[in-house]
Amino acid sequence: MPALVAGPLDDLARQMAARPEPPTGGALLIAMHLAVLVSRLMPAVGWVAAERHADGEPVWTGRSRPYDESTVRKRARDLAARGATELVARAVEASVEQAVAASRAKAVAYTDMFDQVYWTKKPAYAAPISNLGKRLLAATYFGLTVVQVNETAALAYHVSWHKPASPLQDALEALHDAPRRAAWLAQNLRLHIWDRGGSGRPTLRWALARRIPYLTVSQGATSWARYRRLPRVFTRSRVPVFVQRDVAVARGAPRGSSPELVVYPAHPERGRRATKALRYRCGRPLPKPELRALDRIYKTRWPSNENVIKALVAVGFRRNLDRGLTLTTSRGTDGRTARLQVRQRALNEKIAALHPTTISRLIRKARPLVREQQKCAAERAEIAAIPQDRGARMNEGAERLCKNLMLLVYNRLKLLLAQSPSEDVRKMTPARIQELLLGRQMVACHQERAITLWVDLLASPTERALQDELVRLLNGQALRLHAQELRIRLRAPDEPAPQRQPDGLA
C-alpha cells in the first residue's frame, strides 16, 4: 500500500522537512513514518490491533520488527502538530484538481455529513445516530466532499470536522472557507449536489451569495397536477416538468441570482397515473436535457457520494484515533450565538441610519431600538450563563491527518482502478482490494535489483481473474522500494514456496 503513494509521500516529507519548525528527523525518516502510518490505516482496527496486522512493515522500513503502536501514535500527533494535516489535505485536493484538468470537462461535487460514534463515561454532547436506532450517543460529525471526475472515478476532495448535530451548511462553509478552494470550485464545477438537509432558505441564500450551482430537493412532496402553467419539458413517459422561479429563496438572495424550483414526478416511469412529485431546488437554470432526467442526475448522489462514505467507513474511516474531550459550547448554543450576532448587526445598522430632525422624533424612533437592544443584552447574558460542563472531541490530535492520508490512498486506488477495462474492477472498494490482494499473506524475496512479493492465488476462478487484473494494474505502475523495482507475483497453492530471505516475511 505505501508504494502506491510513495511519490506524494516523498513530496510531503520534503515539504515538512523544509518548514521553519520541522518534525524530528530528515525527509527520509518522515517519509518512512508517513508510509508506516498509511499501512496502519486501512485495517478497520485501532492502534494496538493495527500493530498485529503490520507483518509486512519490515519490508518497507528495513527494521527487524514493526514499530510499536505507541511510537506510531506519538509520531502521528507530532506530525499533525507541525502542520502535516494541511499539507496532506492540499495533496488530496491536488490529486482531484489534476484529474479534473486531465478530463477537460466540468465536474460534479457532492457534500454530505457522516457521524463518528465514540463511547465515554464522561459527560459529553450527544447527537442522534441514525444507523443505531436513533439512540443518543456521543459523536463527532465530519463533512466529506466528493468530486465526480468522470463516469468511473469519484474522488474525495475535502473532509472537515464538526461538533455533534452540526447542519450540512457547516460542511459547506468549511469547504468554501479557503479562497483558493472556493475559486477552483467556482471555475470547475457544473453542479454541486447535496441532500435535503441543506434545502433550507438560509443555506440556499448563502449558496447563491457565493454563486454555487447547487441542486437539492425540498422536504415533503407535492402533486404535479396542481400546477397549471405550461410545463418547461416532458419526460419520456410524457409527464410534465414544471419550472418556476424559487421566490422564497430569491426574496433574500443577492441581485442577479436566478434560483429555480423544479416540480418533477417522483415516479416518472409510471406515467401520468402517478401524480406525486418532488420539488427540486437549483441555483441556476438547467438545460432541457438535464430537466428531462433530473431524477437520475440527483440520484447520482448515491453511487458517487453515499457509497464512497460507506466504502471508506468499511476500512476504518470511522475509527476513533483520538478520544480527548474538551469542555466547550454545544452546536445549539453556537447557532443561538450566531443568530444573536445577526440581530445585533441589523440593530446597529438601524441605529447608524437614525437621523431624526426633532427631539420628539428621536424619542419615538429610538424607543423600539432601545427595547431591542435590551433584549439582545438579556439574551447575551443568558447565553453566557450556560455552563460548559460537557465535553466534545475537538480537532486537536492526529485524526484529521489520518483521514486525509486515507483519502490520498483512496484517490490513488480509484484512479488506478479506472484504468481497467473490467467494470467489476473499476467498482471495487478498498475493503474488496484488501480481501483480494493487499490484505493477504505475502512472501517477499529480495533479489539483486528487485523485490518480488509472492501472493497466494485464490481458488475461485472468478476471484482469481480479479486478482490477476489487480496485479496487472499494480505492476504497470513501476512501483519501487528502496531504489529497487517492486513486483507482485501470484503463486498457485501447489507451487513450491519461493526462497525467502531472513527479513522477507510479509
Q: What are the mean pLDDT values of the chain's consecutive 10-residue runs (506 residues total)?
A: 76 85 82 84 75 75 82 89 91 94 93 87 74 70 93 91 90 95 95 94 93 94 87 89 91 85 92 91 93 93 93 87 83 90 94 89 90 95 90 85 93 92 91 85 80 85 90 86 82 65 43
Instruction: Let me know: does 29 contact 474? Beta carbons within 8 Å.
Output: no
Instruction: Let me know: does 2 contact 60? Beta carbons within 8 Å.
Output: yes
Nearest to 79 by CA among 94, 68, 89: 89
Nearest to 395 by CA among 225, 228, 166: 166
Strands annotated E in 220-275: 222-223, 233-234, 240-245, 260-265
Q: Which residue has the cell 474538551?
A: 326
CA distances from 347 to 205, 364, 368, 370, 371 (A): 21, 16, 10, 10, 11
- Which secondary structure element, helix H or strand E, spans residue 313, and what is its range? helix 307-313
CA distances from 84 to 3, 23, 306 (A): 19, 9, 28
User: What's residue 94's pLDDT?
Assistant: 94
| Residues of the chain by 3-state class (helix, strand, coil), percent to 5 | 45, 20, 35
User: What's residue 122's pLDDT?
Assistant: 79
CA dist 60 and 506 (Å) reads: 10
The DSSP annotation for 15-46 comes to HHHTSSSPPSS-HHHHHHHHHHHHHHHSSSS-
What's at 177, amino acid-wise? Answer: D
Cβ neighbours of 454 (radius 10 Å): 21
Nearest to 136 by CA among 127, 145, 144: 127
The number of angstroms, rounded, from the C-alpha of 306 to the middle of its chain's C-alpha atoms is: 10
Torsion of CA 307, 311, 316, 320, to 10 degrees: -10
- Which secondary structure element, helix H or strand E, spans residue 325, and what is its range? none
Residue 171, SS3 per DSSP: helix
User: What's residue 502's pLDDT?
Assistant: 44
HSE of 233 in the Cβ direction (CA atoms, 13 Å)? 15
φ and ψ at residue 166, rounded to 5 degrees: -70, 140
Nearest to 183 by CA among 160, 211, 159: 211
| 55-59 long-range Cβ contacts below 8 angstroms, 24+ apart | 55/441, 55/505, 55/506, 56/442, 56/444, 56/506, 58/503, 58/505, 59/444, 59/451, 59/453, 59/481, 59/503, 59/504, 59/506
CA distances from 195 to 214, 467, 503 (A): 10, 36, 51
User: What's residue 17's pLDDT?
Assistant: 87
